[in-house]
Amino acid sequence: MTTPLWTARTIAQATGGIASADFTVSGVAFDSREVTRGDLFIAMKGENADGHSFIDKAIAAGAAGIVCETAIDHPHVRVADSAAALNALGTASRARSHGRIIGVTGSAGKTGTKEALFAALDRFRPGKAHRSVKSYNNHVGVPLSLARMPSTADFGIFEMGMNHAGELAALTRIVRPHVAIVTTIAPAHMEFFGSEEAIADAKGEIFEGLEPGGTAIIPFDSPHYARLRAKAEQHAAHIVSFGLAEGADVRAVDWLPDGKGGSLVTAQVQDALLCFTIAQAGAHWVANSLAVLAAVKAVGGDLPAAGLAFAEMPGLTGRGARHRIAVPGGHILVIDESYNANPASMAATIGQLAGESADRKVAILGAMKELGPGGEAYHAGLAAPLVAAGVQFALLVGEEMAPLAKALEGRIDFAHVPAHPDATARLGGLIRPGDAVLVKGSNSVGLSHVVTALINGDY
């Protein structure tokens, strides 16, 4: 018999609420559009909508119980504050867990690293690993992900994000990881920080929640390595570095393209040597894999199982998914990186194009957001990677791309358009058989619509 995720009694105990009836739930959601049969729906008051208005919709979708602030004619637990109840439920889930918990943060690579960790640990102990879904990494996404963790899970992997100082400190104290990873430091959210050093300090907050005896995993190749290590030394019993350079505790001894878009890697994992294939392309994925191996070792997982998981990982939508699309006269390759962008991830992903076998390389790039006063220079700075990668045409989307357009004049062919509908409208005269097309930009630019048009041939 399957153990219920929560019962009305345990929900009431965790939240201090009052249960109207006995019920059990198998999942948790706070968005009525995501409710499936057997879920607990937490009706929260937000800035733009009140979840209490969607209770009937959640019940119709199959919700088995509701957490709410008013009495209703459905099985429910009534609480004073639904948002506080979600936090309390996440905290209670963490308190009852016997599993090894891993927290992941960084300026780029958080979601991919979290997914690779899940794949590695789920292969090691099938059905016993849990992770946050999508990019649920903020003040509501993290407690939701914790609340969804089965009490029987042996491993929990949680992504944590921030765009202001202090946010990670709060999240990590809820997650209380045994292992905390910082993937990389890059100029993301510069609008709120002003310097990469400040970003490194904010990312280093993840170590503050480490459990006694915990492990900090930090990027050896980062110019902020010493800063991160100094922070980790205040909270971690063990510090493990990862990177491509000599001196890292976990490092790539050798790596080369596998001819299929991925990489063949030989890694030294402290006292072990491991050879494996990564299905994902790019040096950044090699670095991500090293962080994953360090964490797998730290929680007692199986390194060969992790190596097999890397080879089988599909591309993530918006984060490197590769689509080979039939077009009149041949095929095109579409690389979907449309979910997120900062100067470091942009340069790394553009560099990936250099190794693609294609008749022509095309980059469709959206504006990078939250870069602050240095935004113009960061955008203009993408010209050199584009030229170095052999990109023959760049389609630039968003007003922030104007400095890059100016920097590309006389160097490669390009077009600059205001928004994603204009980019989609240009595809018909742009795309040719044999093209490798990279699509990357901040999520708010909406380049996922361009990816969909390319995949469906709607241009």
CATH topology of 6-82 equal to that of 97-312? no
> What are the φ/ψ torsions at residue 148 (nearest 5 degrees)?
-85, -5
| pLDDT reported for residue 224 | 96
d(CA 101, CA 283): 27
d(CA 125, CA 411): 52
Question: What single DSSP character describes residue 287?
Answer: H
d(CA 25, CA 124): 27
| pLDDT reported for residue 410 | 93
Q: Which two tokens stand for residue 34?
A: 């995501």
d(CA 232, CA 239): 7
Architecture of the domain defined by 321-456: Alpha-Beta Complex (3.90)
CB 298 within 8 A of CB 217: yes
Domain definitions of the chain by residue range: 6-82, 97-312, 321-456
Architecture of the domain defined by 6-82: 3-Layer(aba) Sandwich (3.40)
Please report, in tens digits, the pLDDT of each residue of the chain (459 residues total): 578 999 999 999 999 999 999 999 999 999 999 999 999 999 999 888 899 999 999 999 999 999 999 999 999 999 999 999 999 999 999 999 999 999 999 988 899 999 999 999 999 999 999 999 877 888 999 999 999 999 999 999 999 998 788 999 999 999 999 999 999 998 766 667 778 899 999 999 999 999 999 999 999 999 999 999 999 999 999 999 999 999 999 999 999 888 777 889 999 998 899 999 998 877 888 999 999 999 999 999 999 999 999 999 877 788 888 899 999 999 999 999 998 888 888 988 898 888 888 999 999 999 999 888 889 999 999 999 999 999 999 999 999 999 999 999 999 999 999 999 999 999 998 999 999 999 999 999 999 999 999 999 988
Question: What single DSSP character describes residue 373?
Answer: G
Cite the DSSP H helix spans in 234-300: 283-298
Q: What CATH number labels 97-312?
A: 3.40.1190.10
pTM, two decimals, is 0.83
d(CA 153, CA 131): 10
Give the Å distances, CA to CA, from 38 to 13, 15, 59, 129, 369.
20, 19, 10, 21, 39
List, as one string, the DSSP characters of 66-93.
EEESS--SSSEEE-S-HHHHHHHHHHHH
